Amino acid sequence: MYANLGLVEAGCDAIVGFLEENADISCNKMIKKVLHAFKTVFKGLGLTMGHFYAARESRKVLSITDKDYFAQTNGMTTIQYPHQKLPVPEVGRYQLDVEMDDCIVCDLCAKICPVDCIEIESIKATEAIGKTSDGTTKRLYAAKFDIDMAKCMYCGLCTVVCPTECIVMTDTYDRSMPDLKEMIYKFSDMKPEEAEEKRLALEKLNAERMAAKEAAMQQKTQN
């Protein structure tokens, strides 16, 4: 195929050369133009045929870390996405995930978020609840820890500010939901009744403290 196209090109060149030497031949210009057109058309056709021929092989699904990732320059480049997936690194920076056991509910992530996609509701605990894996004491319950992944812009600032590194980006990507509400990921593991109970406990404690405070104040004024 290629050899033939090359021959045609060479033939056109030869005729054009002959015509240039014998410039007095009439219709010279037109014939030269036609031959030039043929030459360029065959060049283009050769190019597309080359691609057509190279379509016998298609791109292999390789990770970016693979040394042959850039080696294949010919053939079909399509990756049939839902059926084939390019491997992503484990430390990929896609969807957010929160390890609630390590969260101290400091609200820093919600504050730094440029698009306000994190919503946290905290309840003060009456005493220290426990410790995170890095030894920080937990003093707040997370009644609500929602991340709206539809709003998230994947900047990763929340993962930077998190003091206990409990909010991380994972290698999960392409989560599509039929309803936009399903894109709000709820990480809090507290049941509403439980949260209500803790809230009441806190109110009770606050009331007791208030009472104690008032009593102390009264004593102070009496004295």
Partner 1 sequence: MTFYLTYVLVATALFAFTALFTLFALYSERKISAFIQDRIGPMEVGKYGTLQAFADIIKMLQKEFIIPTAADKILFILAPIVIFVSVYLGFAALPWAPGLIPSSLNLGLFYIFAILSIETLGILMAGWGSNNKYALLGSMRSVAQMISYEIPAGVALISAVMIAQSLNLQEISIRQGILSTEQVYFLGIWEVKSVGGLLAWNIFQAPHLILAYIIYFIASLAECNRAPFDIPEAESELVGGFHVEYSGLRFAFIFLAEYSMMFLVGMIGVVLFLGGWNTPLPNVGFAKLALWTTGIGWGIFWILVKTLAVVAVQIWIRWTLPRLRVDQLMSFCWKVLTPLAFLCMLISGLWRLGVMQ
Please provide residue 155's backbone torsions phi and psi, each rounded to the nearest 5 degrees.
-85, -25
| Residue from 75, 132, 151, 199 binding partner 1 (CB under 8 A) | 75
Quick check: 71 binds partner 1 (CB under 8 A)? Answer: no
Distance, in Å, from the CA atom of 152 to the CA atom of 110, rounded to the nearest integer, reads 11
Does 11 bind partner 1 (CB under 8 A)? Our answer is: no
Q: DSSP label at 137?
A: E
Among 41, 64, 207, 215, contact with partner 1 (rule: CB under 8 A): 41
Reported as type and span, the H/E element at residue 130 is strand 130-131
Closest CB to partner 1 among 35 and 88?
35
76 binds partner 1 (CB under 8 A): yes
Please check whether residue 201 is in contact with residue 126, taking contact to mean a CB–CB distance below 8 angstroms.
Answer: yes
Residue 76: strand pairing partners: 58
- From residue 182, give the alpha-carbon distance in Å to each of 14, 147, 191: 70, 11, 19
Residue 2 interacts with partner 1 (CB under 8 A): yes or no: no
60 binds partner 1 (CB under 8 A): no
The residues of the shown chain that bind partner 1, judged by CB under 8 A, are 30, 33-34, 41, 44-45, 47-49, 51-52, 54-55, 58, 75-78, 80
